[in-house]
């Protein structure tokens, strides 16, 4: 009996997977493979944090497949050549996979379909990485949405298909398929230096941990989600973003379970709706990238091409290293470097600071987040940075410039977050924690702090930086 090849991509799970369910339903052997290919035409090569997560996610998937009686075949290179070779060696006449929506993925899938068809092999693609397929959602005029609220209103009228809960049985790879590559040979983990040495205690990639994380969130954090998610010291956010990006969890299952939690407890309805709207922003970002493929490289609003980004390498480096002199910004950047994650409220503050205080091009921030976030996602990252910069769809107005001092005082009033990530300021009283430059000398001395030595002076003055940013915006519009 000829086997079917199931090509895992950003869907590293066995449960709730349409393409895998369809392959298993044929009753034919299913040959599971993953191809490392992030250097093809037009691709953004995965950042270091993503590669760390991918290694552990593939390890978990391999173990799950082995428990089901199969083996995950690993190969690196161009999918066209590898899948054609595997089909020829094993006699497979069908390749199933989940869709991806990045610009390069659309190009790859079109070329792969043509190449395999010449060989007599069919390629079948399935949804499941998003709640709805991007091309199925449009305005009354038949055009893509550019504003989130009407987009999400339209989405909420659409039926949602819960993925089939498939328990796959895999055949072992026949010897004719050749020897698979070893995960350890791919060099996905950092070594010199090993900046992720503590991450095994922070993150637990894999489908099993993703489902456990979802259930724990719905039991606990969602009850305070609407308000509590803005406070970085609270453990209120779901932290599901990396699991969703790598497909360890189906978004439809997340949506369904959150909605069921609200049905079981009507007091959670408002919290559930807010959480689901965050899933909606994920959908909206992919909707935009699917229809406007230049999003990661060019401003959505053309006039921002003329914006005078005058911030230089020194300003970018101070921001990257968490040495701007603004505690809430520095805390976020240090959390990012040490954990591969930054709280969403702080992401907005830190991104706004780079673009509007330091006048550094949003593309530089996007690149840094791409390399350092475990949940780095091309659509979310590009749309988020353009939103903050003011150049994106449904963007924050450019004149909305976060004051990092008042943001810290409002959302980290008692300083738990800043004191954790910027310990050199821990002894400062709350009154001065978010503006150490305003502390009297005797207060600084009592706290063991000399500005410029133990903690930097502010790289810019907020008031002056705000005026410069607004002047630059006026110049651009002129």
Same fold, 4-128 and 130-161+207-291: no
Q: Known catalytic residue: 362?
A: yes
Marked catalytic residue, from 309, 337, 424, 437:
309
Selected catalytic residue, list 53, 199, 385, 421 = 385
385 in active site: yes
For the segment 391-438, what is each residue's pLDDT rounded down to a tens digit? Answer: 999 877 878 899 999 999 999 999 999 999 999 999 999 999 999 999
User: What is the reported pTM?
Assistant: 0.96
Residue 309 is a catalytic residue: yes
What residues are paired with 94 via a beta bridge? 122
Distance, in Å, from the CA atom of 284 to the CA atom of 273, rounded to the nearest integer, reads 16
**Domain 4-128 bears CATH identifier 3.40.50.620:** yes
Q: Which candidate in 104, 281, 337, 437 is catalytic? A: 281
Distance, CA of 105 to CA of 108 (rounded, Å): 5
Topology adopted by domain 130-161+207-291: 1.25.40
For 302-477, give the CATH class: mainly alpha
Helix boundaries (H) for 68-191: 79-90, 103-118, 148-155
Cα(first)–Cα(last) distance of the chain, in Å? 69
Domain boundaries, the chain: 4-128, 130-161+207-291, 302-477
**And the tokens for 474?**
């006026």
Contact 116, 95 (CB under 8 A): yes
- Tell me the pLDDT tens digit for each residue of 236-278: 999 999 999 999 999 999 999 999 999 999 989 999 999 999 9
Q: Are 466 and 474 in contact (CB under 8 A)?
A: no
| 160-175 pLDDT tens trace | 877 666 666 666 655 5
- d(CA 179, CA 157) in angstroms, rounded, equals 49
Catalytic residue check, 199: no
Known catalytic residue at 368: no
Spatial neighbors of 273 by CB under 8 A, at least 6 apart, are: 262
Q: Of these residues, 173, 362, 370, 387, which one is catalytic? A: 362
Q: Return the H-helix or E-strand segment holding 8.
A: strand 4-8
**Is 344 among the catalytic positions?**
yes
d(CA 338, CA 351): 18
Q: Out of 344, 409, 424, 437, which one is annotated catalytic?
A: 344
What is the structure's pLDDT at 458? 98
């Amino acid at each position: 009996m000829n086997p079917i090849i199931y090509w895992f991509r950003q869907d590293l799970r066995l449960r709730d997977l349409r393409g895998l369910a369809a392959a298993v339903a044929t009753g034919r052997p299913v040959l599971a493979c993953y191809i490392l290919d992030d250097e093809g035409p037009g691709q953004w090569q995965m950042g270091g944090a993503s590669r760390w997560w991918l290694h552990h996610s593939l390890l978990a998937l391999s173990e799950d497949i082995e428990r089901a009686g199969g083996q995950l075949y690993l190969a690196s290179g161009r999918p066209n050549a590898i899948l054609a070779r595997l089909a020829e060696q094993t006699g497979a006449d069908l390749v199933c996979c989940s869709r991806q929506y990045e610009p390069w993925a659309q190009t790859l899938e079109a070329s792969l379909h043509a190449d395999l068809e010449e060989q007599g092999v069919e390629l079948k693609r399935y949804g499941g990485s998003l709640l709805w397929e991007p091309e199925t959602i449009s305005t009354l005029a038949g055009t893509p949405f550019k504003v989130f609220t009407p987009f999400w209103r339209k989405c909420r009228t659409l039926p949602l298909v819960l993925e089939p809960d498939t328990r796959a049985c895999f055949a072992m790879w026949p010897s004719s398929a050749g020897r698979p590559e070893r995960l350890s040979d791919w060099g996905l983990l950092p070594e010199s230096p090993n900046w992720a040495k503590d991450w095994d205690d922070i993150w637990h990639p894999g489908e099993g941990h993703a489902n456990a994380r979802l259930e724990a969130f719905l039991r606990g954090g969602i009850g305070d989600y609407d308000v509590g998610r803005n406070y970085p010291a609270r453990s209120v956010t779901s932290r599901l973003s990396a699991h969703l990006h790598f497909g360890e969890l189906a978004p439809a299952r997340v949506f369904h379970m959150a909605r069921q939690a609200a049905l079981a407890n009507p007091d959670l309805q408002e919290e559930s709706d807010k959480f689901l709207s965050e899933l909606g922003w994920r959908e909206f970002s992919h909707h935009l990238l699917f229809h406007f493929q230049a999003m990661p490289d060019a401003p959505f609003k053309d006039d921002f091409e003329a914006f005078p980004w005058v911030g230089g390498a020194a300003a970018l480096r101070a921001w990257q290293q968490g040495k701007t002199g603004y505690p809430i910004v520095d805390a976020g950047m240090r959390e990012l470097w040490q954990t591969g994650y930054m709280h969403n409220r702080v992401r907005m503050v830190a991104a706004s600071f780079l673009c509007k205080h330091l006048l550094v091009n949003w593309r530089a921030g996007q690149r840094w987040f791409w390399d350092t976030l475990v949940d780095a996602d091309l659509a979310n990252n590009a749309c988020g940075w353009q939103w903050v910069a003011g150049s994106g769809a449904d963007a924050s107005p450019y004149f909305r410039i976060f004051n990092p001092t008042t943001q810290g005082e409002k959302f980290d009033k008692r300083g738990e977050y800043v004191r954790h990530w910027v310990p050199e300021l821990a002894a400062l009283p709350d009154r001065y924690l978010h503006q150490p430059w305003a502390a009297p000398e005797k207060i600084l001395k009592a706290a063991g702090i000399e500005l410029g030595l133990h903690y930097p002076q502010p790289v810019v003055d907020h008031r002056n930086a705000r005026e410069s940013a607004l002047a630059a915006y006026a110049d651009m519009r002129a």
